[in-house]
Each structure stands twice: as C-alpha cells, then as structure tokens.
Amino acid sequence: MQGPVKAPTIYDVARAAGVAASTVSRAFARPGRVNAATAERIRRAAAELGYRTGPLARAHDAGRTSMIALVLSDVTNPFYNEIIRGAQAAAAEAGYTVLLTDAQESGEREREALQRTMSTVEGIVLATSRMADPAIRAVARQRPVIVLNRVLTDLPCVVTDNRGGMRRAVEHLAELGHRRVTYAAGPQASWADAMRWWALREAAAELGLQARRIGPFAPVVAGGARAAAELCRGPVTAVVAYNDLMAIGVIRALSAAGVRVPEDTSVVGFDNIFAAELVTPALTTVAAPLHAMGFAAVRNLLAHTRGARTGSNEPVRLPSRLVVRASTGRGSG
Amino acid sequence: MQGPVKAPTIYDVARAAGVAASTVSRAFARPGRVNAATAERIRRAAAELGYRTGPLARAHDAGRTSMIALVLSDVTNPFYNEIIRGAQAAAAEAGYTVLLTDAQESGEREREALQRTMSTVEGIVLATSRMADPAIRAVARQRPVIVLNRVLTDLPCVVTDNRGGMRRAVEHLAELGHRRVTYAAGPQASWADAMRWWALREAAAELGLQARRIGPFAPVVAGGARAAAELCRGPVTAVVAYNDLMAIGVIRALSAAGVRVPEDTSVVGFDNIFAAELVTPALTTVAAPLHAMGFAAVRNLLAHTRGARTGSNEPVRLPSRLVVRASTGRGSG
DNA sequence: ATGAAAGCGCTAACAG
DNA sequence: CTGTTAGCGCTTTCAT
C-alpha cells in the first residue's frame, strides 16, 4: 500500500524528457511551436508518468472561466427542467457554460458544494436555495449571485407571482362552488411555501372561503400521499398543494382510498411540471414561466458579472397563470 | 462605456486597506485570526473595490479540488435521477462533490463543457456520452474517465446487461403468446440503442418471434408518439421501446388513436424511471440498477483518481431485471 | 526551437 | 496580531 502518490507536475515531465518546463508547456498548448521529435519525447514521458495538467493552474491567469453555477435544491425535481433550459439558453447566448450543482435538499450540502464550486465560476444562480439568508449574503460577497424563487433585500432576485397565481387558483375553486380550501404545505425552509400559504389565505378571505393548512410535507409524491392521509380527517372538497409532485401524490392516495377526483375533491398543483398532464386525471395547476425565469436569472447574473455596479435591486417578478385541466370540478358547497 | 475593467486583486485591496496581502487573505479565510478593526477596514476596502477572490487561485496549491464531474446527455431525463443519486452517494463517502454537466444531447456542447470543466475536477464520469470514441479517449488522456452505458476498450466502463434484460422482455412477450415484436429505436449515437436492437433480434430469433425495427426517434415522449404513428402501419401486437419515455409516448398516442393497451398491443419500456408506475396503464419495463451504476462509476473513478495504475479494464456489467406491470398482456398470436 | 526567469493571485510558514 | 518570504503548477516574455 502506497497511499495517493503526489501527482507528477510539469517539472517531473520536463526532467524525465530532458527539457525545460516551458517546453513541456508549449508542447501541450502549441504543439506547432515545438520540434516534432522533442514533442514526441515529451508526450512519451508524460504518458509514462501519467501526467495530467494540474486542476486549477492552467486557467490560472486567464481570469475568466466562462462558467456560472446553477445551484438547485434537487436536480431530480422536474420543476427545474425548464429553468435549467432557460438558464442554459441565456448562458449560451453569452458564451458561458452552466455548471449544475445539487444541494440535495440540504442547506449544509449546498454550502459545501458552493464553497468548492465558487472559486471556479464567475457567478452563481441560487434556485430555491435551502440556505439561510445570512449564508446567501456571505456567498454574494464572494461572487455575483442572483436568487430565484426568493426575495432578499439588496440582492438581485427573480420570482414568480405566487400571489397572483394563487389568487387565480382560489377564484377558480370559488367559481366551481367550493366553500373551503385546504393548503398542503411544502418544506418549511421554502420561501415560496410561505408566500403561497399567505396568498391562499388572503385570496380565501377576500372571496369568502374558509382556509385551512396542513403540513409541512416533503415536496414529492410521497409527501402528497402523506398529506392525503391527513386530508381525510374532515370534510375537504378542495386542496391546493405546494407543488405538482405533491398534488399528484394527493390524487393517487385519494383515489386509492376511494375518493374520486375531481367529483369528490378537487386538487390544484403548482409549477405545471411535465408530468402534470400525464397523470389521470390531468392536473389543474398554477404554471410558472419556468423557462423565462431561468433565462432572466442568468441574463441578470451575467450583467452583474460584467461589472455592472448593481443599480436598483427590485426583484424581477414574472407572471404565472392557471392551467385548468381535469383535477378540479364542481364543489358540493 | 468602459469594457470589463481588470478585476482587483488581493494586492489592490491590501494597498487600499494599508495592510499586507497575507492579512487580507486571512481576513477572508480565518476572520477570527485578525483584529476586528483591521478586518473591518479590509472588508470596507474590498467592498469599495468590488473585490472577489480570483476564480482559480484559491485552491491553487491545494492541488485537490475534491470535485468530480458527472456529464449527462440530458439532465432533464428522469433516467439519470437515480444514477445521480448513486454517484453522489459514492462521492460523499469519499468527501467529494459532484458537478453536473449537461450535454443537451449534443456531442459538441459536451466537448465544450468538458473543456471548461475538466481543469477543475479530478475525474469525470461520462454517462451516455454523445461524443465519438476518439473524443472520449482524448478526454481520458487529460483526466481519469469512466464511461457509463457504453463500452470502449481500455477505458473503465460500467454498463447494464442490456442483453439479459432484453432477453427477459422478449421471453415475457413470447409467454404471453406474441408472435412478433417491434423495436422502436432511440438515438443513433446511442451505444445502448444498438445493443438493445441487437439483443432483441437475437432473443426473437431464438424464441421464434419475428422482429422488426422502426426509428430512430428522439428518446422522449414526443418521439414515442411519432413511433406510434409509424407503428399503426402493419399488424403490431407488441412493441419494445428504447426507453420508458418513448414507451409512454407510444402508449398515449396509441390510446389516443383508439388502440387499447395492453388488450390490442403490449408495450415494454426500458429503464424503469419514476413515471413508469405513474402512467395508465402502468408500464412494464426493463429495470436497470441505476443507483448502483452511478455508485459503481464514481467508486471506480475515485480509485483511478487516487493513482491506481489501472489494472484490467473489463467493463463492469450490472444485471437488469424485468418489472412486469400493466402495459403487457395476452397477444392474439 | 529552446531555456531562463519572471510572474499569475493567493496561501502557508515563519518571524516579529 | 501582522508582515515577510516562499512557493503552488503553469504560462509567458525575453533572450539565446
């Protein structure tokens, strides 16, 4: 057993090949400017030693890495699909590459990953961060940051109009004759969750509905199923879930329990993910302009990166709309 | 208009704050070890100049970045979900962080992203790469690489047993009384696609079924729908799709066209993605040990990274199994 | 075509 | 607590 041997440097190769380090460097970077024979000797020596260009040195003085990081709370969540695409589109437009970082729903992991990534990127988009405000500000001190789905004063943010979307959803439910709504809450650390519940209460109050809240639950199908269990206690005719994944969970669990959707109870989701129209019944949901959000985020970020002494940092608020499908129907009153 | 001004260095800050560069460094890295007042002055100066720690310098001498890259042909594809989780698990175990890179189904983008990322990571997992073999080998010369879902001689690979899986699927169909199978092909650049079609032919021949192939199609729901259109020409009782997404597309399009699944035609997918059990009818599919693949890949990679003079490079072949659900049924013969 | 030497921006080791 | 002095591994002048 030897333990990890120190990786060979360019100097080791130089020595082995009997040339100067600078020549080795050239041999790799500008093969044309070096004697074919010498180049060959160098290549051979390099291969022999298993030489690899050091992790961070090469670009050391280039200064620009042309990369930005997009940090997601959970890559696995289809919610991010379009956001990612939007971000990539904006990045490509400017010749940048997007590095994806997964926080695995943990503020801790997010911090750690960020710490490692930070130094290699020119800017960072925090999508639905699970970190606390101060941690985010700390990051922002190191690199230009733009926050998605959350508002922090003095930091550039891009959010959807949760309030308007929720309003539309509740109106829809009211029009169908429902007299009370239950909100199945998502993660506590989620800024959006707080906004949605708040918005639902407001809308319900104004429209004369009764509002109730259960949760929090994990923002995944299983979480929705758990919500459904709690739901059954008490007369529920309409539920709005934190997101589509949960809504799907609710529908499935409800159906399994013999409750018909939408005849017995209506279900509304949030986000309009791809699977929303795949399930049966197809999900009525509040659609966020996902692609546009990703795009706007990176656009803004790049502007800041280019040194734009940040002007006003009013959060960019993108509109959302209600997509009515089959999971909502007449309420019994 | 000024153009991007050269970014301020740690020295600029030091000068502005009237301290030594090392002190500035400390102020950022170990805030405790520096006089509060001095730290404050430094922070102020840094903020004033808009100073940010240089992209690649910080870890410069650490040598190890503790990061590996996982390159995906399409992050958006749920197929990768468990692979990602597996990779992260193995990485975490070794104190590494996984950087996700999306090739957006393009060999070109993959190359470019890789070029930028490469220097910052210690190793690379290429999952379902869209690059040509030589390009992959070129990357492997720069960093330890391990290839997923594809076999390249002399490079460490991790693949699933496509052959066995397909065999099981065809047997299943045969047992149900089907006399012919159609394969709806995926992307041409896909190594797995070639393997699957080949395996289907082999199995069909041995079991006395007729095999047909249509495609290629994009490996997404829309692609499956397009496949279904072609399917309708000719008497088809059983189809195996390149992956679950396509299979779902096939089912939906078929249903829309009045063809019942599985009564009229049976559909089998590949991968057993999350949505497979969500759709109606639930999808019969060949399940790959996704999590295990991601895990094994990173494990191996890390071993190579630690300098293990690569021994035998026999591809690691993980077993797959058939998950029978509702999309397959009795064939009319 | 090649070598010597001077950095790149930052951190660590060692004195004060 | 803070300044000085060496590098980190590689690239880039500038000679030769």
Enumerate the residues of chain B whose CB falls inside 8 A of the CB of residue A6: 63
Q: Which two tokens stand for residue B14?
A: 């030091």
Enumerate the residues of chain A whose CB falls inside 8 A of the CB of residue B117: 67, 97, 99
Query: Residue A124: its pLDDT value, please?
Result: 94
Interface contact flag, B65 A116, Cβ < 8 Å = yes
Over residues A143-167, mean pLDDT: 94
Q: Does A94 touch chain B (CB under 8 A)?
A: no
Query: Residue B243: its pLDDT value, please?
Result: 96
Residue type at A317 in one-letter notation: R
Nearest in space to B242 (alpha carbons), one of B196, B182, B178, B191: B196
Interface contact flag, A119 B307, Cβ < 8 Å = no
What is the number of other CB atoms lying within 10 angstroms of the CB of residue A48?
12
Residue with tokens 């440097």: A9
Query: Residue A333: its pLDDT value, please?
Result: 52
> How far are the Cα atoms of A94, A188, B7, B261 from residue A146, in angstroms, in the given order?
17, 21, 20, 47
Model confidence at A59, pLDDT cuts 50, 70, 90, reads very low
Domains of chain A by start residue, with CATH: 10-53 (no CATH), 67-160+290-317 (3.40.50.2300), 162-288 (3.40.50.2300)
Q: What is the pLDDT of residues B167-222, one digit of tens each?
A: 999 999 999 999 999 999 999 988 999 999 999 999 999 999 999 999 899 999 99
Query: Residue A62: its pLDDT value, please?
Result: 52
Query: Residue B1: its pLDDT value, please?
Result: 34
Q: Which two tokens stand for residue B316?
A: 């690691």
Distance from CA of A127 to the nearest CA of B (A): 15
Output A138 or A324, whichever has higher pLDDT.
A324
Q: Does B37 touch chain A (CB under 8 A)?
A: no
**One digit per residue, pLDDT tens: chain B, 333 residues?**
333 456 788 899 999 999 999 999 888 878 788 899 999 999 999 888 888 776 655 544 455 678 899 999 999 999 999 999 999 999 999 888 999 999 998 999 998 899 888 878 889 999 999 999 999 998 888 888 999 999 999 999 999 999 999 999 999 999 999 999 999 999 998 899 999 999 999 999 999 999 999 989 999 999 999 999 999 887 899 999 999 999 999 999 999 999 999 999 999 999 998 889 888 899 999 999 999 999 999 999 998 876 665 556 789 999 999 999 999 999 875
> Residue A32 and residue A29: Cα distance in Å, rounded?
9
Q: For a pLDDT cut of 70, what percent of chain A falls above it?
A: 92
Query: Residue B2: its pLDDT value, please?
Result: 37
> Residue A80 and residue B80: Cα distance in Å, rounded?
14
Q: What is the pLDDT of residues A115-127, one digit of tens each?
A: 888 878 889 999 9
Task: Answer yes or no: are the C-beta atoms of B219 and B195 closer than 8 Å.
Answer: no
**Nearest-10 Cα torsion for A135, A137, A139, A141:** -140
Distance in Å from D12's C1' to A57's CA comes to 14
Mean pLDDT of the residues in chain A: 90
Concatenated DSSP letters of A3-37: --PPPP-HHHHHHHHTS-HHHHHHHHH-GGGS-HH
Query: Residue A303: its pLDDT value, please?
Result: 87
* Nucleotide whose C1' lies closest to the alpha carbon of residue A52: D9
Residues of A180-193 as b/e, b for ≥16 C-beta within 10 angstroms? bbbbbbbbebbbbb
Q: What is the pLDDT of residues A68-91, one digit of tens each?
A: 999 999 999 999 999 999 999 999
Enumerate the residues of chain A whose CB falls inside 8 A of the CB of residue B63: 6-7, 54-55
Chain A residues 20-49, Cβ below 7 A from strand D: 21-22, 25-26, 28-29
> How far are the Cα atoms of A70, A121, A124, A149, B169 from residue A301, in angstroms, in the given order?
11, 12, 7, 15, 49
Query: Residue A61: its pLDDT value, please?
Result: 46
Residues 6+ apart with CB under 8 A from A327: A247, A251, A261, A262, A266, A267, A268, A269, A281, A282, A283, A284
> How far are the Cα atoms of A197, A316, B14, B174, B295 from residue B158, in angstroms, in the given order?
46, 44, 50, 30, 10
> Residue B284 and residue B271: Cα distance in Å, rounded?
10
List the single residue in B56, B99, B275 with the smallest CB-CB distance to A65: B56
Distance in Å from D15's C1' to B12's CA comes to 32
Output A225 or A140, whichever has higher pLDDT.
A225
Instruction: State which residue has its Cα closest to the C1' atom of D8.
Output: B61
Q: Does A85 touch chain B (CB under 8 A)?
A: yes
Touching A: B residues 156-185, CB under 8 Å:
none
Q: Is the pLDDT of residue A260 over 90?
A: yes
Q: Does A54 touch chain B (CB under 8 A)?
A: yes
For B285, half-sphere exposure in the C-beta direction (CA atoms, 13 angstrom radius) is 27
